[in-house]
Structure 1
């Protein structure tokens, strides 16, 4: 048993106003729909029938998912157009090194071509040795010590110099926790639920800017710091509404923020 589960399950009794709970339930149902995919980077993993391809594309899309959504989609699309029908083959054949020469020219925001190469180096090493990305992290998770979070296990599998992954223990790891939502939650028109070995009740809320803002305005949290402590606090709070699936609240809070 990992410390994460114990920490998240130590929530207090439900003390949220019924009106707020009903509002969040309604918003989650409204925004967790196939329409959500149209403007969200989660759309890309749905293009591939092969599990291995979908996982790899999910990793690419999630780790570029910050900033304006139009720019995120454009840059992921650029990579996938270059990669062709099999992003995994493109990665394994190291063709990404032609697309991302080793230099400090920006590819997307603060991420340089060298940063992108390091990310794909990490992804390639996982793909070379494992049938699926999920099977690799299932094994790594089973070996993780007490108090370790899955997003930390994922980050540690990539080079320490890779800026796309959060290597600080205090990081809220928004992008990786969003990735985990995609890969763990099932019975969803958005999330694909490939990783059945991890429980969705143990997922952490991704602290997007919109989620932080709405959570503070609604009184779910009182914090301006998007760190691991705040992610745990918010996850506990929304688990009072969605006890078996707390990050369902991500759709409610993100959707409310984007559309308000």
Structure 2
């Protein structure tokens, strides 16, 4: 096997990141769901929910996420804060793959309890509710903190819902949560990612590895670890830091775009 020419790959990926990090990317991607909104909490709620539902075919993901918006009367944050018990009946028929009404009802309960005490969902991804330390290399501790908070908010947490909230403790790749964090944290002038959360820095993000990113990264020799798990996500992110230490996850656009558009 020939050695990897990182300088050539960087030039190639820089060009592809620029090509795909554009508003035209939004239309067919789950990020289009939170882009329907302008209020911060609406963006957080539907960004989080769309990311959690993001497995399977993208048209189906968009359809089911849009269905949730409709179930919340087109105003997620207002619905979360002000819904009545009778309003929850409409969620009893919601289902997407293994995500069922029990999960949906707990998500609603979590959001309502959480936003009664917090202005932003960012707080839940900060260990011990503290500002991320300059010495914290990645969002790993934040993901663990969020999992523990989400699953421990009440005494009647439905255990089946835990499978929808990944954690590095279980060596999960945490793909969907990392995608959500990319949306909330990254900031540039391209108009795709939102850049709403200032206390988590772009250089702390870890790349979400879906099937497209996984395949392209391995074809380019950027990922060696055979398992696609948390350690693989860290390995790929460390490699991409060689290309851009301050924003390694911007190459998610390049790797995903190359895969989903069939260029590789």
Does the TM-score normalized on the shorter chain lie above 0.5?
Answer: yes
Note closer, same or farther for the CA distance 1:193–1:100 as it changes in structure 2 (3 Å cut).
same
Matches within 5 A, 1:144-159: 148-159=140-151
- Partner in structure 2 of residue 132 of structure 1: 120
How many residue pairs get aligned? The number is 243
Residues 122 and 157 of structure 1 are in contact (CA less than 8 Å); yes or no, is this contact kept in structure 2? no
- Partner in structure 1 of residue 43 of structure 2: 54
CA RMSD, 1 decimal: 2.3
* Larger RCO of the pair (alpha carbons < 8 Å, separation 6+): 1
Partner of residue 122 from structure 1, selected from 93, 110, 132: 110
- Partner in structure 2 of residue 82 of structure 1: 71
* 1:113 maps to 2:101: yes
- Partner in structure 1 of residue 90 of structure 2: 99
TM normalised by structure 2 equals 0.84
Larger deviation, residues 53-62 vs 233-242 = 53-62
The 2-side partners of 1:152 and 1:241 are apart by 27
Residues 123 and 129 of structure 2 are in contact (CA less than 8 Å); yes or no, is this contact kept in structure 1? no
The 2-side partners of 1:181 and 1:92 are apart by 26
The 2-side partners of 1:108 and 1:179 are apart by 18
- Partner in structure 2 of residue 20 of structure 1: 9
Note closer, same or farther for the CA distance 1:120–1:16 as it changes in structure 2 (3 Å cut).
farther
C-alpha deviation, 1:60, in angstroms:
1.2
Other structure's SS at 1:222 match:
coil
C-alpha deviation, 1:240, in angstroms:
0.7
Note closer, same or farther for the CA distance 1:203–1:141 as it changes in structure 2 (3 Å cut).
farther
Segments of structure 1 that go 5 or more residues without pairing to the other structure are 1-14
